[in-house]
A = this chain, B = another copy of it.
Amino acid sequence: MGRTGRRPGQQDTREAILAASREAFAERGYDGASIRLIAAGAGVDPALVHHYFGTKDQLFLAAMQAPMDPAELLPPVLAGGVDGVGERLVRTMLGVWDSPAGSAAVALVRSAVSNELIAKMLREFIFNRILRRVAKGLDLDPAESRYRVSLVASQMAGLIMVRYIIKIEPLASAPPETIVELIGPTVQRYIAGELAFPPVSGRK
């Protein structure tokens, strides 16, 4: 990525691979989209996909234009266990979004909202890179974990909307630690609180 001196043909090939991968990830999910399938969609050899983008993981991040990889940010958040994880999650999220990388993240959300394909990929991204790891890292009850993590997603997505996109004050410019104190307990309750869940198995 960001290599200089690329010839236009290489650029086209890269773009074709990225487009094919977005479609494949959106249609089949992360697990179902193989490099072989993506290469076929782009009309190139699978080796070329690896050559340009490395692993499927790296291709996924490139296809999402993800400004950072939650898989790298999450281990320290989860390492402390359930105690205080709500505050740590909010603090870590604010650390990324308040940083220069945040503007790329805002751009990603904007595209996801206006483009169904990107929305599907973002959904896949959230599940694979974030929610699944949180559930596993904290050893959540599998019967409840999908509910819990989608609740966490609802508070996090809303914080992103209000602070970075619609910009509603005072949350838009409040100091990060204030937000950690106010919203951390919500996330904590969603992850570890006593919640009355309906049986999930009967629903998709």
Contacts and interface: CB of A to CB of B under 8 A. Distances in A.
A186 B181 CA distance: 14
A157 B153 contact: no
A173 interface: yes
Number of copies: 2
Contacts of A156: 158
A192 B128 CA distance: 36
Contact of A110 (B113, B127, B181): B113
Interface stretch (A14-22, A65-73, A96-104, A118-126): A118-126
A92 interface: no
Q: Which secondary structure dominates where chain A touches chain B?
A: helix
Given A113-B109, A173-B203, A168 B153 contact: yes
Interface in A152-204: 153-163, 165-175, 178, 181-183, 185-186, 189-190, 195-198, 200, 203-204
Given A150-B162, A154-B159, A168 B109 contact: no
A157 to B, nearest CB: 4
Residue from the set A154, A162, A163, A196 with the largest chain B CB neighbour count within 10 Å = A154
30 contacts: A113-B114, A114-B114, A119-B167, A123-B167, A126-B168, A127-B168, A147-B174, A147-B182, A150-B162, A151-B182, A153-B158, A153-B166, A154-B159, A154-B163, A154-B183, A155-B158, A157-B158, A157-B162, A157-B166, A158-B159, A158-B161, A161-B161, A169-B203, A170-B203, A173-B203, A175-B198, A178-B197, A181-B196, A182-B196, A186-B189
